[in-house]
Amino acid sequence: MVSRIVQVAPFDLVVFGGTGDLAHRKLFPALFHRFLDGQFSQPTKIIGVSRHDFDNSSYRGSIAKALKQFAGGSSTDEAIKGFLAMIHYVVLDIGSDLGWDRLEHQLEKEHERVRAFYLATAPDHFGAIAQKLAAHSLVTPASRIIVEKPIGKDGASAAFINDAIGAVFPEERIFRIDHYLGKETVQNLMALRFANALFEPLWNSAHIDHVEITVAEAIGVESRAAYYENSGALRDMVQNHLLQLLCLVAMEPPASMHADAVRDEKLKVLKALMPIDARNVEAFTVRGQYRAGASEGGAVKGYAEEVGNPHTMTETFVALKVEIANWRWAGIPFYLRTGKRLPQRVSEVIVAFREVPHSIFTVESGKISQTRLAIRLQPDEGIKLWLMLKEPGAGGMRLQHVPLDMNFAEAFSIYAPEAYERLLMDVIRGNATLFMRRDEVEAAWRWIDPIREAWNHLNEPPRPYFAGTWGPAAAIALVERDGRSWNEETI
Ligand code: BG6
């Protein structure tokens, strides 16, 4: 099957933090793939900006290196050369007023041409960059700004950043990236729910027993110790990626795929989350921190050793029991967990349906397990519907739990684009459906902040777990207390 490519009109994309990790690992490889697929029309310009001393040629050299490392091996030198011809570099210290004229000089002047400013920098700089863009008259009516999570570290700092960007760009031209929303299977969650008549009638507390969302990583904190120490898994993963997944699973059907229609429904879910605070934090949350162990095929250090802080209280694992106080979901637990240095990289949503009300089968037929829908985000993107079926053969009625298995790579046999490819093209097209609106980000923080405050108040260290295991035993107990267990069938 061939994916359909609709070309976008020529645009200017300015990448602040153009020499950084995000730009090299994710943004340029994503742009390169879109270029290879013929999605760009010319003349399109991509302008890297940072204070490091590069010229066009040395910058292009560093991008070429990044593409070889991070864009998959199949591209020819010719293709890379064609892509690099669109790339330019401007030396600019965002703290200074000098150099902005050089940036202006690189930008095309037609007012209707899309100008996208991607802030691949620390969030502390978002407001200042927006203000400088305005002060140097670089913001045209077709300009838009793209910011990355984390937007703030709590509700107050998020509001501060949103105010600063909002003073220059109207909300509909602010694109807040949560790259999980660009993942193919995450979008498929909407297709699955709203393009099939099968699930939606069952998608409620009358038929669903519980929902589980796991985002597990095998990696540790890598080179991001300084950031991670001040963040931890709750802010780094739950406030954004896991809550966004939860919203897509739990939201009411939006009237359309229009950005605000979808975001209105997600916001309602965030507002309906049952608060977790000092009163119930111990019953509903588990924090963990990895100790030395075995991971990714070798011995690895513990977190405290990695960040050089023996007293660190930062969590590298969180498990939560979340409830949504509305008619559709009242009483149905959503179990969320995420962590670093877990046994493998796997992200999935499990929707476990209620058990049959009465079994007509004898004990010899075996146990009837729940019908489970497993939506696998990564790796091996796909969907499995676990059903009870009869084991083949003449040996009587023996039942087995088996999956209807839909692996996207096999089913569609086309290259699945990386999240950033889809998201960057959506920015250029002006489609904000897969981006977070201001009120969503702030509502998510409003729910997260009391959890963090309650943890601070408890002042207990996170529970230890060995690298390469599924987190502290208390995370298993969190689910088992309710007579359930984390899904193991697909992991
Ligand atoms: C980022 C987090 O947002 O997502 C990282 O800051 C995490 O800590 C990453 O490793 C995971 O993304 P993915 O796409 O690899 O699952």
CATH of the domain at 26: 3.40.50.720
> Ligand 1 centroid to 236 CA: how many Å?
8
Domain membership flag for residue 446:
yes
Residues 126 and 242 in one domain: no
Atom of ligand 1 nearest to the CA of 231: 6
Dihedral sign for Cα atoms in the order 126, 130, 136, 139: positive
Taking residue 251's Cβ as centre, other Cβ atoms within 10 Å add up to 21
State the pLDDT at residue 489.
66
CA gap 90, 356 in Å, rounded: 64
Tell me: cis bond preceding 379? Omega within 30 of 0 counts.
yes
Residues 89 and 229 in one domain: no
**How many separate domains does the chain show?**
2
State the pLDDT at residue 299.
94
Query: Which of 129, 148, 167 is where one domain is finished?
Result: 148
Closest residue (by CA) to atom 2 of ligand 1?
236
Q: What is the pLDDT of residues 156-209, one digit of tens each?
A: 999 999 999 999 999 999 999 999 999 988 888 999 999 999 999 999 999 999
CA gap 146, 174 in Å, rounded: 6
> Ligand 1 centroid to 178 CA: how many Å?
10
Tokens, residue 332 = 């149905």
> Ligand 1 centroid to 241 CA: how many Å?
9
Structural domain for 31, as ranges: 11-148
Q: Among 14, 4, 94, 76, which Cα is nearest to 48's?
A: 14
Residues 17 and 140 in one domain: yes
Closest residue (by CA) to atom 9 of ligand 1?
237
> Ligand 1 centroid to 219 CA: how many Å?
10
State the pLDDT at residue 488.
79
* 184, 214, 217, best to mutate for ligand 1 pocket (most atoms within 8 Å of CB): 217
Residues 213 and 144 in one domain: no
Domain membership flag for residue 55:
yes
Atom of ligand 1 nearest to the CA of 183: 14
Dihedral sign for Cα atoms in the order 92, 98, 99, 101: positive
State the pLDDT at residue 74.
66
Domain membership flag for residue 4:
no
105 is catalytic: no
CA gap 382, 184 in Å, rounded: 9
Closest residue (by CA) to atom 4 of ligand 1?
237
Pairing outcome for strands 114-119 and 143-148: parallel
* 241, 296, 342, best to mutate for ligand 1 pocket (most atoms within 8 Å of CB): 241
Residues 55 and 193 in one domain: no
Pocket of ligand 1, beta carbon within 6 A? 217, 236
Residues 79 and 224 in one domain: no
Domain membership flag for residue 361:
yes
Q: Among 237, 100, 109, 261, which Cα is nearest to 179's?
A: 237
Residues 441 and 337 in one domain: yes
Q: What are the DSSP calls for 33-47, one per residue?
A: HHHHTT-B-SS-EEE
Residues 124 and 239 in one domain: no
Which one of 241, 258, 401, 457 is the catalytic residue?
A: 241
Residues 216 and 81 in one domain: no
Measure CA of the first residue to CA of the last residue in the chain; give whole Å. Answer: 29
Residues 359 and 474 in one domain: yes
Taking residue 333's Cβ as centre, other Cβ atoms within 10 Å add up to 20
Name the stretches of the chain with pLDDT < 70: 1-3, 73-74, 414, 489-491
- Number of continuous H segments (helices) and E segments (strands) in the chain: 18, 17
CA gap 278, 328 in Å, rounded: 26
Residues 304 and 354 in one domain: yes
Q: What is the pLDDT of residues 331-345, one digit of tens each?
A: 999 999 999 999 999
Closest residue (by CA) to atom 14 of ligand 1?
180
Domain membership flag for residue 266:
yes
Atom of ligand 1 nearest to the CA of 419: 14
Domain membership flag for residue 39:
yes
State the pLDDT at residue 6.
86
Judge whether 275 and 452 are in contact, CB under 8 Å: no
CATH of the domain at 474: 3.30.360.10
CA gap 141, 117 in Å, rounded: 13
> Ligand 1 centroid to 66 CA: how many Å?
19
Maximum distance among all Cα pairs of the chain, rounded to whole angstroms: 82
> Ligand 1 centroid to 215 CA: how many Å?
9
Domain membership flag for residue 175:
no
